[in-house]
Structure 1
Amino acid sequence: MNKLDVRGMACPLPVVQVKRALESAQGELHVLLDDGAPRENVKRFAQGRGYQVHEEPLEDGFAFTITGPGATAAREATPAPAAVAGPTVMLIGSDRMGDGPEELGRLLMKNFIMTLLDMSELPDRIFFVNTGVLLAAEGSEVVETLNELGNRGVEVLSCGICLDFFKKKETLAAGGVTNMFTIAETMLTARSVVRL
């Protein structure tokens, strides 16, 4: 069994280290990691690639046993799909739209997000970074809209480092937490990226 300790590592290093270990591992991978974003991100990463994740709580975090073939073998056997086949991604980097007055910018962003519910085609994922994460936290006027988008199949994800910076992780009210590795990987394989 291969062992990896990623406790104390800042985002996105836990996911990056697990990815590297899975690419070279034979059999099971045993990972020690912190609770919170590292636990959620590594679990989502591994399961998204077809691995089974067994988790066990520890006094100082969690232990994961990751097993299964994952998607590595399948990727090697078949050529990578063209970027055209990837998801449609929206990257929202601010709680307001445009460079004008703040009040107007916040109103425009609110109206834009609420208007998405009326669109016939929705993005597959919406990533919130920087002050954009404030839109997914308690007190935001668009939390209900973001949760409805989630119910319609849109993956709503906020940057964990950004949530920590603004002290909003505990008040996240829409979607889940992600990391920069997942954001970068998704954008590089996306069919299209809409940046606001």
Structure 2
Amino acid sequence: MSGRRRCPLKTIDCRGLSCPEPVIRTKRELEQSPEGLRVLLDDGAPRENVGRFARNRGFGVTEAADGFGWVLVLTPAGTATAPAAAVQSGERVLLITADQMGAGPEELGRLLMRSFIHALLETPRQPDRILLLNSGVLLAVEGAETVEALRKLGEQGVEIFACGLCLDYFGKKEQLAAGSVTNMFSTAETLLAASSVIRL
């Protein structure tokens, strides 16, 4: 007697969508289809963001390239974890939205930001996460004077995330040298779950 034939997983096409739409659509579909999902995605940030999101929700992720992008097959892995933002509730988040500090001369502003990032290495309490948005992502790319300090902060346990949409805008995605790429959905979750957000 043959076993019950499994129904094919639902497929959604997220190619051509900008951040954070692929993650949002995947989230909505997984809520309706907890048995799993096939997601068609462009390479780069969409593929990375959806894969990370699914793994954080306890899904196994199988990736395969096709002639039009990538296919991610998401299936329950039996090791579901709480959403990242829920785990981080109560954490201190540092939101940096520019590569300079203050509203004065640009040269002074960049000097102040560089000094601040380096000073974080010596403070008795560091942020749990640093989110880099807008031109703030330039602090973490190759050639920036703040890269080494950000790397050391990462080694000390500070999670550093740079907005993928912002990196794309500046053409710096491939030059990210500290931290990892994130998307606006994850950024929103983190900010809303934090006990305190310090914005620079």
TM-score, normalised via structure 1 length: 0.89
Contact 2:86 2:193 in 1 (8 A): no
Q: Indicate whether 1:114 and 2:122 are aligned.
A: no
Distance 1:50 1:105 in 2: 42
Q: Shift of the alpha carbon at 1:120?
A: 2.6
Distance 1:56 1:142 in 2: 36
Alignment partner, residue 93 of structure 1: 97
Q: Shift of the alpha carbon at 1:58?
A: 1.9
Alignment partner, residue 55 of structure 2: 47
- Give matches, 1:27-66, under 5 Å: 27-66=35-74
Contact 1:46 1:70 in 2 (8 A): no
Stretches of structure 1 lacking an aligned partner (at least 5 in a row): none
- Give matches, 1:16-27, under 5 Å: 16-27=24-35
Contact 1:157 1:178 in 2 (8 A): yes
Contact 1:129 1:162 in 2 (8 A): yes
Number of aligned positions between the proteins: 190
Residues 184 and 8 (structure 1), Cα distance of their counterparts in 2 relative to 1, 3 Å cut: same
Distance 1:82 1:144 in 2: 28
Q: Shift of the alpha carbon at 1:86?
A: 3.1
Residues 195 and 49 (structure 1), Cα distance of their counterparts in 2 relative to 1, 3 Å cut: same
Distance 1:187 1:53 in 2: 26
Q: Shift of the alpha carbon at 1:105?
A: 0.7
Q: Answer with 1 or 2: which has the greater Rg.
A: 2
Q: Which residue of 174, 186, 191 corresponds with 1:187?
A: 191
Q: Shift of the alpha carbon at 1:60?
A: 2.2
Distance 1:156 1:125 in 2: 6
Q: Shift of the alpha carbon at 1:26?
A: 3.4
Q: Shift of the alpha carbon at 1:71?
A: 5.0
Alignment partner, residue 3 of structure 1: 11
Alignment partner, residue 6 of structure 2: none
Residues 156 and 82 (structure 1), Cα distance of their counterparts in 2 relative to 1, 3 Å cut: closer
Residues 50 and 86 (structure 1), Cα distance of their counterparts in 2 relative to 1, 3 Å cut: farther
Distance 1:51 1:122 in 2: 32
Q: Which runs of 4+ in 1 moved over 3 A?
A: 69-72, 80-83
Distance 1:82 1:34 in 2: 29
Distance 2:61 2:124 in 1: 36
Aligned-residue identity in percent: 56
Distance 1:82 1:65 in 2: 25
